[in-house]
Structure 1
C-alpha cells in the first residue's frame, strides 16, 4: 500500500490541480508531503519494531495510514489535502520497515533472496500497477476515490496481519529519545530545503534551514558514537557500516529511490497534457511495466541466492539507465504514445533486477541484533532519495515549462536520474561475495 501510493496518486495530480486550483508546486507537494513525513521518522520506526514487535508496530501504522487516507477523501482545499498526506506518511513510516525485518529474521540466509523476490513482486505489482488502477479510478469516479481505495485494503491488511504474522521476540533496549529528536531535525532540515528551495528562489532562510539540518546530522552521528558511554543503545549503530555490502547497498537504494519514485509524475503529465491522452489510457500505457516486474521479480530473487553478489544488480542498473535515457529522448523529440512501451518494458525489467537483489545483499549478512536498525537505515536512505528525487524533478519541470516546452521539460526530469544512477551502478559493482564485516582497529573497540 505504501508503494502503491506514489504511482496511484501521480495519475490523479492533473485532476487535483484542476479541481482544487493548485499550482504545479502544490501538486508536487501532495506527493512530497507524504514522502517527507514518511522519510523523517524511519530511523526510529525501524527500532520501534525491535522494541515493541514488528507485528504490533505494523498494525499501528496501518491504522494511521488508513485513517489518513479516509480523511484525504474529504479534503476541501489543496492545503488540507497536503496536511492529511502528512498523516498518511507517518502511518507509512511506522509500517514500512517491518516486513523486511520479519523476512530477514524468519528465513535462513540461503533463502532470503527467494523470499525477498516474492516481497519485491508484491511491491512491484502495487507500485507499477498504480498508474493503471489510478487511471481507471480517476477517469471513472474522480480523484477522491483514489484515496478511498486504501480503506478496504487497509482493513483487509489489518485482519490478515493480526491473524497470520507471528509475534517475534522483542529487544529490551530503550529508544534513545535524544538521538531520535536530533535525527528528525536532521532529515527534515535537509529534505525540506531540497524540496522548497527552488520555489522560494533559494532565499537566505532556506540556506539557514539546510545549515540546521547539516549540524543536526553531525550531532546525530556524534550521539551514535557516544551512545554506549551515555548508557543507551545507538539508534543507528555504527557497526552497521562495518559491513561493506550494507554501506554500498544503502547508497544504491538512495539512487533507486531518487529515480523510481520521481518518474511517474512527469510520465503522466507528458501523456495527459502533452499528448492529450485521458487518465485511463495514460495509466494503461504503463501496464507492461507492472507485468514484466511481477513475473520476473520472484525469478530474480531466487537467482540472487545462487550467483555472485552484484552480477544481477549491474544488469538491472544498466537497464534502468537505458530506460531513463529513452524516456527523456522520446519526450524531447515529442514522439507519440506508440513509442512509450519501449522504455516502459525496460523500466519493468530493471525494477525486477534492482530492488530484490539490492535489499537481499544489503541486509542478509547483518546479525539479528542489527536487522531492525539496518532495515530502518535502508528504508530511510530509500525515502530520502525519493524526496530528493521528487524535489529535483519538480524543480526541473517548473524551470523548464514555458522555456523549452512542456514535453522537453518532462524529458529533462527523466534524464536527471541518469547522473545519479551512475553512482548506484558503481556501488553495486563493488558488492562482496563474503559479506564479512570489516574489523575495527583494536584501539576503536570497546573495553571489556
Structure 2
C-alpha cells in the first residue's frame, strides 16, 4: 500500500505509525553501531585475533556507512525514499542472521559490511522522510524526537550489550537490533512515498564519492594493521586524487552529492570541522575504554557496559536542553562551554586512580557526556539554520556523513594506539581532550560578528521565524 506524501505532513493516526517506523529504524542503526564496542574484547578472544584487529568489526561497519550515505541519499530521490528505506531494513535483518555462522574474522567483516549497506540505505533517507511526515510547523519537534531516540538508543546499547554477553555468546549482541528492523518493516506501510525525481542518477559522482572515502580511510586502516607503508601511502594518495577530481566535478553540479556549496560558507565549514573533531574525540575515548577497563582494571563485560552508560544517558538529558538554549544563545558560546566541560571530563578520565570504583568512572563519564551534548545539538541546529531550504536535505546528509567519518577516524586512531601498545592506558583520553580543544576553538570562532549572521541576503530561504545563531 502506497501513501503519497501530502503537501504538509501526514494526518493522524498515519503520522504516529510513520514516526514509530522511523524511530525503530533510527534505533536499529544507532544500537548496531554502538553495541559492538562492548563485545570487541570477547570477539577478539573467541576468534583468536589481536585486539587491534577486532576493532575492524566496528571500523568496517562505519566505513561502508561513510562510503554509501551520500550516494544512497541521491539514489533514494530517484527510486523512492520509502522503497529504499524498507529495502535497507530488510537487508539488515537478513544479514544479521549470518553473524551466528561467523567462525572467522574475515567472514564476520563481510557480514558487517552488508549490514552497513542496509543501515546506510535506511539512514540516508530518514531525514527526508521526516520532512514528509511532519507538518512544517512541527518539523523541529520531530527532529527533537528523533534526537531523543538517538541518545536513548546510544545509552541503551552498552548496557544491553553487557547484559547479553553475561548470558549468551557474542553473536546475540548483533541480533539484539533485529526486533527494531522487524517493527520498522511492519509499520513501514504508513511511511509517506514522495514521488521519485525524474533526473538520472549521477552514477559516476556516487562511485567517486564512495571511492574517495573508501581509499583514504581504507589506506589508513592498512597502515594501522601493519601492512606495507608504501602500499598504504599509495592507497591514501589515490583516495586524495579521486577526492580532488570529485570535488572539482561537484563544483559544477546544481545539486552536488557532496555539498561543496554549503562548505564554502565559513560558518558551515567551522561547524563541520568542529563536529568532525568532536566525533573523533568521542569515538577515541568510547572505543578504547572497554579495553582499558577489562585489561587494566579487571572489569567484567557486564560492568563495562554499565560504566560507559553515564555518557549517553547524560547526553540524552543535556542535548534537548542544549537545543532549547540554542534558540536564545549563540551556538558558538554553547559549544565552547560544552567543549570546556568535555576537556575537563576527558582529562579526569586520563588520570583515573589505580583501582577506580564505579562512581569514580561514572561522574567523569557524565561530565564528558554533558559537554558533548552541549556542543553537538546547537552545532547541528546552526548547520541546518544556516542552510537554504532547498539544500536542507544536503545539510542533513552532511551532518550524518561528518559524524560517521569522525567516528570511523576515531576507530582508526584507537586501532593504531592498540597496535603501538598505548590503547589501554590514559593516552586515548588525552588525545580526545586535545581534539575537543580544536572543536571548542572552532565553536568560539563562530562568535565573530561576520560569521554569526553570514547569510542576510538569503534570509528568505530560512525557516520563517528562525534566527541563525
Q: CA deviation at 1:55?
A: 3.2
1:219 to 241, 245, 268: 245
Q: CA deviation at 1:251?
A: 1.5
Aligned ranges for residues 225-244 of structure 1 at < 5 Å?
225-227=251-253, 233-244=255-266
2:341 to 312, 319, 325: 319
Q: CA deviation at 1:358?
A: 1.9
What corresponds to 2:414 in structure 1? 393
2:201 to 175, 178, 194: 175
What corresponds to 1:98 in structure 2? 125
Cα–Cα, structure 1 residues 203 and 438, in superposed 2: closer, same or farther, change >3 Å? farther
CA offsets per residue over residues 13-49 of structure 1, 9 Å max, x none? 1111111112112201111111111111122122234
SS in 2 for 1:306: coil
CA offsets per residue over residues 44-80 of structure 1, 9 Å max, x none? 1222343344333222222222222222232121111
What corresponds to 1:284 in structure 2? 306
Q: Quick check: 1:423 aligned with 2:445?
A: no
1:54 to 81, 85, 88: 81
**Separation in 1, partners of 2:130, 2:327:** 14
What corresponds to 2:64 in structure 1? 37
**Separation in 2, partners of 1:172, 1:430:** 42
Contact 1:20 1:78 in 2 (8 A): yes
Contact 2:271 2:383 in 1 (8 A): yes
State the Cα RMSD in Å.
Answer: 2.5
Aligned ranges for residues 365-376 of structure 1 at < 5 Å?
365-376=386-397
What corresponds to 1:253 in structure 2? 275
Cα–Cα, structure 1 residues 236 and 58, in superposed 2: closer, same or farther, change >3 Å? same
Contact 2:285 2:432 in 1 (8 A): no
What corresponds to 2:155 in structure 1? 128
2:375 to 348, 354, 357: 354
Cα–Cα, structure 1 residues 150 and 106, in superposed 2: closer, same or farther, change >3 Å? closer
**Separation in 1, partners of 2:132, 2:327:** 16
**Separation in 2, partners of 1:150, 1:437:** 45
Cα–Cα, structure 1 residues 420 and 348, in superposed 2: closer, same or farther, change >3 Å? closer
Cα–Cα, structure 1 residues 284 and 169, in superposed 2: closer, same or farther, change >3 Å? same
Moved more, 248-257 or 288-297: 288-297
Unpaired segments ≥5 residues, structure 2: 1-27, 459-469
Cα–Cα, structure 1 residues 208 and 115, in superposed 2: closer, same or farther, change >3 Å? same
**Separation in 1, partners of 2:114, 2:168:** 24
Q: CA deviation at 1:216?
A: 0.2
Contact 2:251 2:261 in 1 (8 A): no
What corresponds to 1:445 in structure 2? none
Contact 2:40 2:51 in 1 (8 A): no
What corresponds to 1:196 in structure 2? 222
Contact 2:133 2:192 in 1 (8 A): no
Q: CA deviation at 1:151?
A: 1.5
Q: CA deviation at 1:308?
A: 2.6
TM-score, normalising length: structure 2: 0.83
CA offsets per residue over residues 80-126 of structure 1, 9 Å max, x none? 11111111111222222333344467668886655433322211111
1:383 to 401, 404, 413: 404
Point out which structure has higher relative CO (alpha carbons under 8 A, 6+ apart): 1
Contact 2:52 2:418 in 1 (8 A): no
Aligned ranges for residues 100-115 of structure 1 at < 5 Å?
100-103=127-130, 114-115=141-142
Moved more, 237-246 or 214-223: 237-246
**Separation in 2, partners of 1:178, 1:423:** 35
Cα–Cα, structure 1 residues 321 and 67, in superposed 2: closer, same or farther, change >3 Å? farther
Cα–Cα, structure 1 residues 393 and 341, in superposed 2: closer, same or farther, change >3 Å? same
**Separation in 1, partners of 2:224, 2:212:** 20
Cα–Cα, structure 1 residues 182 and 374, in superposed 2: closer, same or farther, change >3 Å? same
1:187 to 213, 222, 227: 213
Q: CA deviation at 1:140?
A: 1.1
